Amino acid sequence: MRRVLIFLIVVLVLGVTAGLFITRPQRLPASELAAGYKPDVANGQLMFTAANCSACHATPGQADRTVLGGGLKLKSPFGTFVTPNISPDPTAGIGGWTEAEFVNAMKRGTGRHGEHLYPAFPYASYSLMKTSDVRDVFAYLKTLPPVAKPTAPHELKFPFNIRLAVGGWKLLYFHPHEFKPDPKKSDAWNRGEYLAEGPAHCAECHTPRNALGGMEADKLYAGAPNLEAGGRFASNITPHKDGIGDWSAQDITDFLKSGTDKCFNEPDGMKDVIASTSKLPDADVSAMGEYIHALPPVAGNPKHKTC
């Protein structure tokens, strides 16, 4: 009996060790960050805008969208996430971060101290971005005003406050890979896919999630009823009759530029998004419109049809 107990303990320890090893935080190889790279700050600003970073990281109540003191509270079924200060302040923000630490946070969901980051930060989408684009974002962030206010901790329920558990979530739902263009598609379509799936992370809001917070792949872009606990509904943006099937690519482009849809509504839930997409180059907004218009139609919730 004693031998059996010892054997079971050994198996348990080995299993836990193997599990921790398999789900450990990952980093990009050093070769991804070639020395001598000269950041394109203007491109970094464009990617920052496409990613709508200000919507979450701008200091609440601050009109200037480049003041990135964080502090926004995002309520969810798992508790309340508090967005961090990503200003270049060396203590309260990311001014003390290395470029490699920033890139690993964006593309691998790994914090500067080797911890798992919660997927409320949409690194599953950012992992598709070119490393050079992420490096450019880091260079742009360093040009913004520092904010000395430290970030409050998350207010999460047990067991979601255990960061090690995020490793299991990543094993199930996080499969990082860099975007590769489809040679059968147009340059505009590929640009639209890159922006929508990567920096703009459209699927993160418009796709429903399961009880563990993983996106339901068979309902991609079909609308999300639980965007936030008690919050707004993110519409079905596929060309289904429940979504925007009667919209043209130009209708989508116009909406992303003006914030007014083809029915002359001004959807409040997209206000922060439009604040960013309206500032993108016309060609990029048009590319996103073309890509979204070509999404496969998926049935959603007709009660939440856009118009």
Of residues 24 and 65, more confidence is placed in: 65
Task: Give 244's contacts (C-beta < 8 A, 6+ positions apart).
Answer: 235, 236, 237, 238, 251, 252, 306
Closest by alpha carbon to 259, among 248, 245, 242, 273? 273
Query: What pLDDT does 17 receive?
Result: 54
Report residue 82 as tokens. Answer: 């508090």
Q: Give the E-state strand segments of 51-159 in sequence order.
A: 73-76, 79-82, 155-156
Inform me whether the pLDDT recorded for 195 exceeds 70: yes
- Spatial distance between the Cα atoms of 225 and 208, rounded to a whole number of angstroms: 7
**What is residue 47's three-state secondary structure?**
helix
Query: What pLDDT does 29 receive?
Result: 82
Query: What pLDDT does 162 receive?
Result: 86
What residue ranges define each of the domains in the chain, with the CATH number in brackets? Answer: 2-173 (no CATH), 187-304 (1.10.760)
Residue carrying the six token digits 């059996």: 4
Which range, 51-65, 140-154, 226-240, 250-264, is most confident?
140-154
Report the Cα 119 to chain-centroid distance in Å.
8
Inform me whether the pLDDT recorded for 18 exceeds 70: no
Report whether 41 contacts 60 (CB < 8 A).
no
**What is residue 234's three-state secondary structure?**
strand
Task: Give 112's contacts (C-beta < 8 A, 6+ positions apart).
Answer: 97, 98, 101, 104, 105
pLDDT tens-digit readout, 196-253: 999 999 999 999 999 888 999 999 999 887 555 455 678 899 999 988 999 999 999 9
* CB neighbour burial string for 9-25, b if at least 16 within 10 angstroms, e if fewer: eeeeeeeeeeeeeebeb
Of residues 133 and 270, more confidence is placed in: 133
Could you count the other beta carbons within 10 Å of the beta carbon of residue 103? 23
- Spatial distance between the Cα atoms of 41 and 61, rounded to a whole number of angstroms: 27
Give, in order, the Cα–Cα distances in Å from 184 to each of 74, 108, 194, 291: 40, 29, 15, 14
pTM (whole model) above 0.95 = no
Q: What is the mean pLDDT of the chain?
A: 88
- The residue-averaged pLDDT of 111-139 equals 96
Confidence of residue 165 (pLDDT cuts 50, 70, 90): confident
Where is average pLDDT lowest: 103-117, 187-201, 258-272?
Answer: 258-272
- Spatial distance between the Cα atoms of 266 and 250, rounded to a whole number of angstroms: 17
Inform me whether the pLDDT recorded for 270 exceeds 90: no
Inform me whether the pLDDT recorded for 6 exceeds 80: no
Confidence of residue 13 (pLDDT cuts 50, 70, 90): low
pLDDT tens-digit readout, 59-108: 888 888 999 999 999 888 889 999 999 999 999 999 999 999 999 999 99
Of residues 19 and 77, more confidence is placed in: 77
Residue carrying the six token digits 């590769």: 180
Backbone angles phi, psi at 80, to 5 degrees: -110, 125
Residue carrying the six token digits 């499969």: 175
**What is residue 265's three-state secondary structure?**
coil
Report residue 87 as tokens. Answer: 């200003």
Inform me whether the pLDDT recorded for 117 exceeds 50: yes
Of residues 254 and 13, more confidence is placed in: 254
Query: What pLDDT does 87 receive?
Result: 97
Inform me whether the pLDDT recorded for 7 exceeds 50: no
Inform me whether the pLDDT recorded for 268 exceeds 80: no
- The residue-averaged pLDDT of 50-58 equals 94
